[in-house]
Structure 1
């Protein structure tokens, strides 16, 4: 079971010295992936309900610093050489897919092929309104954007004619190291599970209540994969739990998960942050040999 760390880009994890310290320490300690999520704007009053808690209230105060994940991961890449990097997640329908294809491929080139592009549909109507993108049909928009980006990555001269995006005979360089990027779809809804089974390379179940909820989602994904003519091994399964307990990593592995992601905030002091990573590694990874 791989163990990832979702700690960069927000609050204390938005400080340059902390990013450097956490990234380097996580690589030394044996973490598999550094995750960084996205919120473009925050508003003081939400009509939208936060989907990852029982009370519908998000955990991050609205005045908290929240960095762009590509910039965050660029700094993390510069501080490391081996550890995986993942957006967790980018709200893809809020962006132009041609521009995102370029940004993601640029980072993948600079980090020598370590990037996974985690994407999601989004849940904050107010954020879509501020950006000027329709909130309706965002799942369909996400699926089409992914198809368009894959075409840009694999073709020297690319064309795409969809409902939401069109381009003809364009070149977008650089290409990702492998002419594609792993696309990890985040989201715990039935729609997200269905879309993940159809076209994603991985699924990130975020802030799941417990291992039982994670196992049920994994079972549902396997059924959907079979219905889509795909194999269970076609989808890398990652999960974070709201309150992980000793033994949960083993139980997630038994349920078919590939990576357990720890979601936590480091201390503001970089020396303390480095020690904090070591403590997490001692609890969840064990000693390095």
Structure 2
């Protein structure tokens, strides 16, 4: 079992000095991955329901700083040398897939192959409306964008024809470091999200699940879905963040086949406090991970 840290990109975690300090301390302490999520647009009073809380509301204030995850993680990668960086998650249907492929490959190349691209379909209709992207069929759009990005990464001269994106005989460089691909993990806890993981994903980032029992039920559904798709769940990398995790959960999650427990915390505002803050988290969580 590995331990990841989802702490960068929002509020105090959007400050350059805090990003540097947290990234260096997390690598020194032995965290596996630095995660950072995305919302391009927030609204003060939206009608869309947030799927990861009981009351349907996101806890992040609409006025909070929320930086672009690929740019923010590039600073974290520049401050470190071994820790992985991951978007958790980037809302893929809101973006041009050729541009995302270029940006992701650039970060992967500059970081020495340390990027995992976590993507999701999105839940905020208001956000899609502000960006001029149809909210309907965003799942199908996501699937096609993933296929288009993998084509761009794989082929020297790439062509693609789909419903939502098409290009002919283009060159997009650099290429990703690891066999011209970047691991794509899908966020979301719904049946549809897990079917997407089984069909075309390299892994799953389950976010704010209720407890280990909830994870067990979702993993079993994913296992069955993989079997139906002719895949082995062991091919996938599974990372989960619990709403209120306990130290003992690491052992139980490892028994379920989860590869990484992601700790979600907000860092201190003063970068001088970051090392001590990360060390406290490491003392609590990494000891539990080493026992699995």
* Bin for the TM-score computed over the shorter chain: over 0.9
CA distance in 2, matches of 1:30, 1:253: 18
Q: Following TM superposition, by how much is the alpha carbon of 1:287 offset from its aligned partner in structure 2, in angstroms?
A: 10
Equivalent pair of 1:4/1:260 in contact (CA under 8 Å): yes
For residue 81 of structure 1, give the secondary structure of its aligned residue in structure 2. coil
Residue in 2 that maps onto 1:128 = 128
Residue in 1 that maps onto 2:225 = 224
Residue in 2 that maps onto 1:201 = 202
Equivalent pair of 1:7/1:265 in contact (CA under 8 Å): yes
Extract unaligned runs of 5+ from structure 2: none
For residue 260 of structure 1, give the secondary structure of its aligned residue in structure 2. strand
Q: Give the TM-score taking structure 2 as reference length.
A: 0.97
Residue in 1 that maps onto 2:137 = 137
Kindly tell me: are residues 242 and 171 of structure 1, through their superposed partners in 2, closer, same or farther at Cα, counting changes over 3 Å?
Answer: same
CA distance in 1, matches of 2:199, 2:287: 36
Report the RMSD for the aligned CA atoms in angstroms.
Answer: 1.2
Residue in 2 that maps onto 1:151 = 151
Q: Give the TM-score taking structure 1 as reference length.
A: 0.98
Residue in 2 that maps onto 1:58 = 58
For residue 52 of structure 1, give the secondary structure of its aligned residue in structure 2. coil
Q: Following TM superposition, by how much is the alpha carbon of 1:256 offset from its aligned partner in structure 2, in angstroms?
A: 1.1
Residue in 1 that maps onto 2:93 = 93
CA distance in 2, matches of 1:53, 1:44: 17
What are the superposed Cα offsets for residues 246-287 of structure 1, whole Å, 9 maximum, x if unpaired? 201111111110000001101001121211100000000039
Mapping of residues 1-289 of structure 1, within 5 Å: 1-178=1-178, 179-286=180-287
CA distance in 1, matches of 2:256, 2:26: 25
Equivalent pair of 2:176/2:182 in contact (CA under 8 Å): yes
For residue 287 of structure 2, give the secondary structure of its aligned residue in structure 1. coil
**Number of positions where the alignment pairs a residue of Structure 1 with one of Structure 2:** 289
CA distance in 2, matches of 1:9, 1:248: 26
For residue 285 of structure 1, give the secondary structure of its aligned residue in structure 2. helix
CA distance in 1, matches of 2:41, 2:190: 23
CA distance in 1, matches of 2:27, 2:105: 22
CA distance in 2, matches of 1:121, 1:71: 20
Extract unaligned runs of 5+ from structure 1: none
For residue 85 of structure 2, give the secondary structure of its aligned residue in structure 1. strand
CA distance in 2, matches of 1:31, 1:147: 31
